Amino acid sequence: MSIPAITDMDVSGKRLVVRADLNVPFNDDGTVSDATRITRFAEGMRDLLAKGARLVILTHLGRPKGQRNMDFSTKSIKATLADALETEVFFAKDCIGDKVENQANALKDGEVLLCENVRFHGGETENDAAFAASLAKLGDIYVNDAFSCAHRAHASTSAIAGLMEAAAGPLMLIEVNALTKALEAPKSPAVAIVGGAKVSTKISVLKNLVGKLDAVIIGGGMANTFLFADGAPMGKSLHEADQIDTVKEIRKLAAKSGCKLLLPVDVVISREFKANARKQVVANDACPEDAMILDAGPEALREFEAELADAHTILWNGPLGAFEIPPFDHSTKLLARSAAELTRQGLAVSVAGGGDTVAALNVAGVADDFTYVSTAGGAFLEWLEGKELPGLAALNRA
Ligand code: AMP
C-alpha cells in the first residue's frame, strides 16, 4: 500500500476536510465522560494548525440512522474539542449545503470548523456518491484520521477519497505504523495473546495469526473450547461445543506454518461466578462437574511468561480470564505486566487492542507502557483478521 501522509504535505492556507472519530461517551448531564478520542485526535491537528492549515472536521456521533436527531448533535463535543485544540472552534449546523460551504470558505489559516453529525444523512452509511461529492466541496484535501472507522465503507471514509486529493491523518499514520510493525513485518519471535469469551467470534483472527506469527497463546473462554476439543471435561465452564471442527482446523493451520499454540496447562476454577469467590487450581483436564474455569493457572502463567520473555513482538487481544471479577483477573494482570516490562526494557514491541483488552490493560495499570494500544475495536479486529480495510484502501495510491 502507498498511502500519502498529510504530515508530508504543504498544508498552509489549505482547507483540510478531516474525517475524525470523535464518537465519545457522555455523562448523564451531557458532559463528555471520556475525552481520549478527542485529545488524541487534537494532538496531531494542533501541528497542522500551527502550519497554517484550515480544518473542516467531520465525525459521526452515535447512531442517528440518517435522521436529524439532536440527541446526537456534534455540538455537544464542541467545547471539549476547543479545549483540546487550544483554539476556538466554529460550528456548522449541517455537514453539506451552501451554508457550511460558505463557513468553510471563510476559514482563515489556523481556524477550525466542526460540522454537524455526518450520520444525520442516510447517504453517509450508504457510501453515497452524491453525498460524498457534497462533502468534498468543503475543502482542498481530504484527510482520514479515523482508523477506528476504516473498516466501514461510508461516504466520509471511502467515497470521498476518490473525489479529491486524499491523505492519512497523523493519528491514522501512528496506528497503521504500529499495526504494520506488529503484524505485517513483525520482528521475530512474534507472539500473540488471544483471549476472550468465544472462539466463534475470533475464528478469522486465529487463522490469520497462526499463519503469520511464531506462537499464539490462547486464553479465556476460548481456551476452554480448545481443551474441550481435546476431550477435557468442562463442568459449567463457558465453552462452545459446536466449534470442535474449527479448533481442529486452527490446529492444522498452526502445525502447517510452524506456529506454536499454547494453552493453559492448569486452570483456576470456582463454583461461583462472583467477586472474591473461593478458587482452586486444577490441571486443565480436571474441572469438576459443578465448577467452572475462570482463569489460567500459575503453571500456565509461568509458561506464557517464558514464551513472552524471548519475544521481540507481542500482539494482544482479549483477556486470559474473567478479568472483570477479581481474583479471576490475576493471570491477565500479571501477563500484561510482563509484556509491559519487556516493552519498557526495549526488548519487545507490544501492540494491544479491542475494547475489553484496553479495559484489561487499564485494570493491570500498564496501558501506557505498551508500544501502542489501539482503541479501534472493530477495525483492529478486522486488521488482525487480515482483511482489507475500505478506509485504507480508499487512500491507497499505489
Ligand atoms: P471478548 O469480548 O471476546 O474479548 O471476551 C471478553 C470477555 O470474556 C470478558 O467479559 C471476560 O470476562 C470473558 N471471559 C474470559 N475468560 C472467561 C472464562 N473462562 N469464563 C467466562 N468468561 C470469560
CATH 3.40.50.1260 residue ranges of the chain are: 6-172, 186-384
Q: Is residue 220 lining ligand 1, measured as CB closer than 6 Å?
A: yes
Reply yes or no on whether the pLDDT at 355 is more than 80: no
Q: Is residue 196 lining ligand 1, measured as CB closer than 6 Å?
A: yes
Q: Is residue 238 lining ligand 1, measured as CB closer than 6 Å?
A: yes
Q: Is residue 219 lining ligand 1, measured as CB closer than 6 Å?
A: no
| 198 in catalytic set | yes
Per-residue confidence (pLDDT) for residue 183, from 0 to 100: 86
Catalytic residue among 37, 40, 119, 333: 37
**Atom 12 of ligand 1 has which residue's CA nearest to it?**
322
Tens of pLDDT, residue by residue over 311-320, are 999 999 999 9
Relative to the CA of 224, which ligand 1 atom is closest? 19
| 355 in catalytic set | yes
Q: Which amino acid is residue 257, in one-letter code? A: S
The dihedral through the CA atoms of 160, 174, 32, 362 has a sign that is positive
Number of H helices, E strands in the chain: 14, 15
- Convert 80-102 to b/e letters by CB count within 10 Å (16 or more is b): bbbebbebebbbbebbbeeebbe
Which residue, 355, 337, 328, 325, is CA-closest to 264? 328
Tens of pLDDT, residue by residue over 26-62, are 999 999 998 989 999 999 999 999 999 999 999 999 9
User: CATH homologous superfamily for 186-384?
Assistant: Phosphoglycerate kinase, N-terminal domain (3.40.50.1260)
For Cα atoms 133, 75, 28, give the angle at the middle one, nearest 5 degrees.
135
Relative to the CA of 321, which ligand 1 atom is closest? 16
Relative to the CA of 325, which ligand 1 atom is closest? 12
Per-residue confidence (pLDDT) for residue 398, from 0 to 100: 79
How many Å apart are CA 59 and CA 156, to the nearest integer?
A: 8
Close Cβ partners of 73 (under 8 Å, ≥ 6 residues apart)? 61, 116, 117
Cβ(35)–Cβ(27) below 8 Å: no
Cβ(265)–Cβ(301) below 8 Å: no
Tens of pLDDT, residue by residue over 228-279, are 999 999 999 999 999 999 999 999 999 999 999 999 999 999 999 999 999 9
What is the model's pTM? 0.89
| 378 in catalytic set | yes
Tens of pLDDT, residue by residue over 198-228, are 989 899 999 999 999 999 999 999 999 999 9
| 354 in catalytic set | no
6-172: CATH class = alpha beta
Reply yes or no on whether the pLDDT at 182 is more than 80: yes
